[in-house]
Chains A and B, each alone.
Chain A
Amino acid sequence: MPPDEYQNKTDEELAQSVLKDANALVVLIRRYESRLLSYIRRISGSSVEDAEDILQESFMDAYKHIANFDPSLKFSSWIYRIVHNRTISAYRKKKKEMGDMSIDADDDAFKRMMAAGDDTARMADQNLTAEMVGKILKQLSERDRNVLVLAYMEEKTYDEISDILRAPPGTVATWIRRAKQKFQKSAEQFELANKII
């Protein structure tokens, strides 16, 4: 059983304790399990079972390479990086077709995604549903989708996304700006296609 004192420690302190006591990792896993599962499903459209497999392998990787954790980084950025790489790798390896993006209309993340457009009034007019947003995200390139999900659904800052994707913060800002433009364009085309149908 992890000691009670672990509950009061920060993620970074726990990460540095893992080599001495693996139970510190159990506390970290409890803290991150559900949000990382959502993240995996958002970027890959995988089923719950597949997402759990990926997450389990990711935590195993994290444990094996815990000595690589840089305390000057946030633990969340580090674990997101591992999960991100595992997810991408799993889907490239299996060459699986992406499942539908998992987005819930009541999800605050969906609302933030809607607000990502430059013209929120125009976005509101388009009456995009969560299902439509999921389909639009699925059409975007892997990188565009990843940065939008991290920025608006996972609410990561540019610095955190930089640490997760291992890219300069300025480059991340450019990627996000371009991804938003593509999202907006795809949303307009999607809306138009739906009206014709």
Chain B
Amino acid sequence: MTSIADQFKEKIEQGKLPEPIPRWRVQVRHVLLWILFGSFVVIGTASSGVAVWFMTDPSGLLMEYNNGDALSSILDALPLFWIILSLILAVGAISIFVHAPRGYRYRTVVIGGSVALAFIAFGGAISATGMSDRIESAASRMPGYSLIQRPRLNQFIKIEQNRIIGRIQESQNGHMMIQDPGGIIWQVDVRQCDLRQLDFVEQGNCVRIIGMPSSTVKVFEAKELLPCPRGVRIQRVQQYMKEQVKEPLR
């Protein structure tokens, strides 16, 4: 009985051995794998940065809109899209690393923990440098993103519930002119609000107002003046309102 070595030798001499996979293909596969891993980490970190940015927004908890219900406010404030995106990218990065040539030598728990820590740490750094605002702004131009933001924006524009939102056009002597996303100019009486604490009250800034519409047309008496939460961009609200043709502002 010929040994396996002798059988192989015979195949070599007869030229019957299959072609081995060339080294360059293996190297290209490794490079692509690491590029994919790097992409997941970079995009995941950016996504975490935006999630952290939203979650650290002092104006993010809209307690005044939820009748003081803390749990509802916290749930509303969670940027679910960015959190879920970060989770998906983290799982993808972990999965690629585990299947990398030497990835099996590390426990999945350790890899997962390291990826999560990196996302949170670098995400926090991105948020602190102000890049999260730009990333979110860029994402807002993507089709479909407005659908995700719609439920959040919905709660800011309810005249019937004494809430309006708009950009400050002018502010003096206890009165303010704001332009809401529909283009309507409101005259807002802010004499009941303490403007000394409100450093965001500057021309061009976005503000939320809770108060009471006056009997006079397009006049609003403000009880509370609040900054717009992060990610609320008047242009986006305008776009949203164009889509809400069936529910015109009263």
Please give the residue numbers on chain A whose beta carbons come within 8 Å of chain B beta carbons, in ascending order.
18-19, 22-23, 25-26, 29-30, 33, 52, 55-56, 59-60, 63-68, 70, 72, 162, 166-171
Contacts and interface: CB of A to CB of B under 8 A. Distances in A.
A18 B8 CA distance: 13
B213 to A, nearest CB: 65
Interface stretch (B44-52, B103-111, B112-120, B185-193): B103-111
B20 to A, nearest CB: 5
A65 B102 CA distance: 17
Interface in B60-89: none
B105 A169 contact: yes
Given A22-B8, A67-B23, 9 more contacts: A29-B4, A52-B4, A63-B17, A64-B19, A64-B20, A67-B20, A70-B101, A169-B105, A171-B107
A61 to B, nearest CB: 10
Contacts of B18: 60, 63-64
A7 B231 CA distance: 70
Contacts of B5: 26, 29-30, 33
A169 B102 CA distance: 12
B17 A56 contact: no
B12 to A, nearest CB: 5
B20 A65 contact: yes
Contact of A26 (B9, B22, B107): B9
Interface of B: 3-5, 7-9, 12, 17-23, 25-26, 101-102, 104-107
Contacts of B104: 162, 166-168
A159 B228 CA distance: 57
B107 A63 contact: no
A162 B105 contact: yes
Contacts, number: 62
B3 A33 contact: yes
A106 to B, nearest CB: 24
Contact of A170 (B7, B8, B107): B107
Contacts of B107: 168, 170-171
Contacts of A25: 8
A26 B101 contact: no
Contacts of A65: 20-21
Contacts of B26: 67-68
Nearest to B25: A67
Contacts of B7: 56
A64 B21 contact: yes
A169 B22 CA distance: 31
Contacts of A52: 4
A66 B20 CA distance: 7
Contact of A55 (B4, B17, B22): B4
B97 to A, nearest CB: 13
Interface centre among B17, B20, B26, B102 (most CB of A within 10 A): B20
Contacts of B21: 64-68
16 contacts: A22-B8, A23-B9, A23-B12, A26-B9, A29-B4, A29-B5, A30-B5, A59-B8, A64-B18, A68-B21, A70-B102, A162-B104, A166-B104, A168-B104, A169-B105, A171-B107
Contacts of B22: 19, 67
B105 A26 contact: no
Contacts of A23: 9, 12
Closest 10 CB pairs of A and B: A166-B104, A67-B23, A29-B5, A67-B26, A30-B5, A22-B12, A168-B107, A26-B9, A67-B21, A64-B20
